Structure 1
Amino acid sequence: MACRQPPARQQEQPAQEMPGMVWIPAGSFMMGSEEFEDSKPVHKVTLEGFWMDEHEVTNAQFAEFVKATGYVTDAEKPLKPEDYPGVDPDKLKPGSAVFTPPAHPVALDNPMQWWEYVYGASWQHPFGPNSNINGKDNDPVVHVSFIDAAAYAKWAGKRLPTEAEWEMAARQGKPSAAYYWGDTLKPKGRWPANIFQGDFPWNNTLEDGYAGVAPVKSFPPNAYGLYDMDGNVWEWCVDYYRPDSYTEKEETNPKGPADSYDPEEPGAVKRVQRGGSFLCSDQYCIRYKAGSRGKGEVSSGGNNLGFRCVKDK
C-alpha cells in the first residue's frame, strides 16, 4: 500500500518553531477582486513560504518595544508649523483620528461626520488624554502609522507583509470566495469577524459583541491558524498604494509598485492597508471582502488601524 504524502504545509514548514507565528506555505493563488476598481484585474501570484504573526500586534507587545527603545509614535510627536502653512500654531497639537459616531442617521457622503481629530489620542490613549489602555493588554495596538509599524517590525526582527503575502494568508489556500471565510456573511448564524452591525455609523447593534476593537483571538482562526484577518483593525502592508498597480501578468513574490499615487490625494505618500476593521459595514465600507484593498498616508493613524508582522524562512 502506497504511503500518503503529508500536506504541503507540513512538508514545507521549517523545523524551527517561531513562537506566536504561523507558517504560511509556498503556493500560488488568484489575487485581487473584480468587485473593486483598484483590485482589478485578478491575476496569478506565486509566493515563497513565510512566517506570519498569528494575531495583530497587541498593546502589551508594543509597550515592550517602547520600553526597550524609548520610541515615540507619530501621533505623539509635536507638529511642525512649517508643515502646516496658514494654520494657527496654537491648534497644531499632536493627536489622531477617533471614530465618533453621531447620535442620529446621516448621509454617508462625508466621513468627517463620524471621524474626529482628537488632541492627545495615541496608542496609550485611544480616545484622548483622559483614556488609557489599562486592562487592555490583549487589544490590538492602534493609532500606529506605517512608520511606527515598520519601526516595531525592525526591532522585533521581522518585517511588514507585502499585500500579496497578506492576501494569500487570508485566503488560507481555499478557492476564491466573497469573504475570506466563505461566501456567506454570517455562516451558521454566527459573526466570524468583528465588523459593524446595524445602521452605520450611528446605530451599532453589537451583534458580534463589540462596539470597537476586540481583544485578539476573540473570533475563530482561519485554516492557517491566523486570527482577525477580517475586521477588528486595518493592517499595514509594505506596498506603496496605487490604484493601477495590478496587471494580468503573472507575478512571483511581488513587492508592489516603486512609488505611491492616489488620485484623490496626489501629494500624499500612501501604503496599502488590508482586512477592514470594526467599522466595515455592507452599508458603507465593504473593504473586508476578499481581495479588496485599503490605503493610508504613511504618518497617519486612527483607532481602527493596527498591523501584524511576517518573517522569512
Structure 2
Amino acid sequence: MATLAQTTDAKRHALLIANRNYKSLARPADMRQSVLALEKALRETGFSVTRVEDVTVDRIISDIEPAFMKSVKPGDACFFYYFGHAIQWNQDNFLLPIDYNPGDAGDISQKAYSLTRLQQLLNDKKAAPKIIALELAPPDPAVMAQATGVGLTNPDVSDTSDVLFLFSHVPNQIVAENQGALTTALTDTLNKQGLDLNDVMQNVQREVAKSTSQQQRAFAFSNVPDTFYFRDPVVGPEAGMQRTSRKDRQDYVFVPAGTFTMGCVPSDTRCEDVEKPQHEVRITKSFWMGATEVNVTAWERFMDSTGRKKMPEGPFWDTKRKLKDHPMTSMPWEEAQAFCEWSGGRLPTEAEWEYAARGGEANQVWPHNTQNSREKANFAGKKGNDRFDNTSPVKQFDPNPFRLFDMSGNVWEWCSDWFSETAFRSSDKDDPKGPAAGKQHVVRGGSWFSDANEHLRISIRKPNTGGNIVGFRCVLEDSPATKKLLGDY
C-alpha cells in the first residue's frame, strides 16, 4: 500500500475560511482563536496555509478560489476548512458568505458557494488526498426556511476520489448549539504523532462526542485508498524488543501503545462480576515492562543501593532466600513501588498489565489462547505437575507475543491501582488508573498456588495485601531517561 505522506515532491495546501460578521444572519461564536490553533497545527505538519475571514461569494469565486487552485498540482494534499452558516439545497451543500441575505432575489446557487463545486475543482486538479472539514454555526431561522433539508446533506462522491469529509454534525440532523467541538478535536488530533486518516476520523468523532457529553456526533467519510499521515510515525522499537537496564540489571521489553478490550471475555463462563463489563481501553503511550517478575538478586541489589537492612521474610521453602533467580515475594505494595521508583519506573497500572498480558491478541481467556498446562505456566503447587512445587525460576515457560514471561502463574503481580469491585463500570477509556483511594491494591495473573481454570485467566483480578504468592514487575516510561537506562534503541 502506498503512503501518500512519503511522496517527496508532493506539496500540502490548506485553505481556512471563517465567517462570523454576517450582515443579515445571526452572528455565530467567535472562533478566531480556535481557527488560529488549527492553522498552527497544519503549518507544523507541512501545510502552506491560506486563512481568510468574513468573505463574500464574489471574493471566493473571483479571488480566493483561483489563487488557491493555481498552487495545487497532481498528487498534492489539500485541506479545506470552513466555519459559518451553511444550507442544504437541492441535494447539495452551500457555504453562506457574510453578504448572504435570505430576502434577496436569485438562486441560492448564485448567492452561496457550492461544496460540490469545490470537490470537482480539487478532483480535476488530481489532488490526493482532499480533506474537507465543515464546522457549522447554529442555523438561522431564515436560512432553515429556505433549506430543502435539515442540516447538511450527504456529500455526493460518485465522481470524487481520494476525499475525506469531516462534518461537525451528522447529515440531515439539526445543528446543535455546541460551536467549535469539531475544530478543537481536529486540532488536538493533528498534534498527535503517527495517526493515519482512519485514526484521524475515529479520534475526531470520539472527541466531539466526549466534549459535548454525547450530545453531538461528527460525520466522517473517506474513500482515500492510500495511507496518509499528517505527522509521520516515529520510527521506534518493535514490540517485544528486549533491553537490559543498567540500574536493576533486569530485562525489559517494549510494549507499543494501542487499544484493546479489557475485562471478561464473552466466552469465559468463570468470570466474576468484578471483571465486568468488558470495555475498550486505549493505552496512549508506549512503555517498557519487565520481561519477568523482579527476582531475588535484583531485590538484593536494591537493598544494597538504598541502605535497607531488613529483607522481607522468606517463604517456607526458601527462608534464607538462596533461590536468587526466583521471583521476589512477601514485600508490601509500598516496597514494590519503592523498588520500581529506584529502578527508574513504577508499578504498571491494571490496564497496562492486562494489555501487556494479552500480547496484542483479542478475546483470550488464558495466555497463549489455550488452557494452561504444565508446559505453559507454574500453577497449583504439586498438583500442577510442572516440575515446581512452589515458585519457579523466571523464564522457565514460553513468553507471550510481547515476549513477557510468567504473565500467568508463578506469582500474583502487584498493580498500581487500588482495588474496586465496580472499577470497570466507570473506567476511563484512555489510560485508566483506577480509583483514587481504597483499602487494598490489585493483583493480577495468578500464582504457583492457583487453580489454572479459575485464577490463571487473563481477566482475573483480586485485592491483596501480599505474601509468598505475590510479587511484581516494573514498567519504564518510553522517555529519554529510559534510553539512558536501556541504551540506544
The verdict on a shared fold, with TM-score over 0.5 as the criterion, is: yes
Paired residue secondary structure (1:181): helix
Whole-Å separation in 2 of the counterparts to 1:242 and 1:287? 18
User: Cα deviation per residue 1:15-46 (whole Å; 9 max; x = unaligned)?
Assistant: x9742110101110110116111111110000
Whole-Å separation in 2 of the counterparts to 1:143 and 1:310? 20
Whole-Å separation in 1 of the counterparts to 2:253 and 2:348? 13
Correspondence list, 1:242-253, <5 A: 242-247=420-425, 251-253=429-431
Instruction: Answer yes or no: is 1:191 the counterpart of 2:375.
Output: yes
Contact 2:328–2:471 (Cα < 8 Å) also in 1: yes
2:448 partner letter: F
User: Cα deviation per residue 1:163-184 (whole Å; 9 max; x = unaligned)?
Assistant: 0000000000001112122133
Correspondence list, 1:1-313, <5 A: 11-13=235-237, 18-19=243-244, 20-33=251-264, 35-47=271-283, 48-71=285-308, 122-123=312-313, 125-127=314-316, 131-134=319-322, 136-186=323-373, 190-196=374-380, 204-247=382-425, 251-260=429-438, 269-282=439-452, 286-297=454-465, 301-313=466-478
Contact 1:138–1:215 (Cα < 8 Å) also in 2: yes
The Cα shift of 1:12 comes to 4.3
2:455 partner letter: R
* TM-score (ref. length: structure 1): 0.69
User: Cα deviation per residue 1:247-304 (whole Å; 9 max; x = unaligned)?
Assistant: 26661011111111xxxxxxxx201001110011158xx222121102113xxx2111
The Cα shift of 1:2 comes to 5.9
Compare relative contact order (CA 8 Å, sep 6+) and give the higher one, 1 or 2. 1
Larger fraction in helix: 2
Paired residue secondary structure (1:64): helix
Q: Is the alpha carbon distance of 1:17 and 1:306 closer, same or farther for their aligned partners in structure 2, counting shifts above 3 Å?
A: closer
Whole-Å separation in 1 of the counterparts to 2:451 and 2:303? 34
Whole-Å separation in 2 of the counterparts to 1:26 and 1:278? 30
The Cα shift of 1:13 comes to 2.2
* TM-score (ref. length: structure 2): 0.45
User: Cα deviation per residue 1:56-77 (whole Å; 9 max; x = unaligned)?
Assistant: 000000000001112256xx6x
Q: Percent identity?
A: 34
Moved over 6 A (4+): none
2:256 partner letter: P
Paired residue secondary structure (2:302): helix
Q: Which runs of 5+ in 1 are unaligned?
A: 77-121, 198-203, 261-268
Paired residue secondary structure (1:208): coil
1:209 partner letter: R
Contact 1:233–1:276 (Cα < 8 Å) also in 2: yes
Q: Which runs of 5+ in 2 are unaligned?
A: 4-226, 228-232, 245-250, 266-270, 479-489
Whole-Å separation in 2 of the counterparts to 1:165 and 1:280? 22
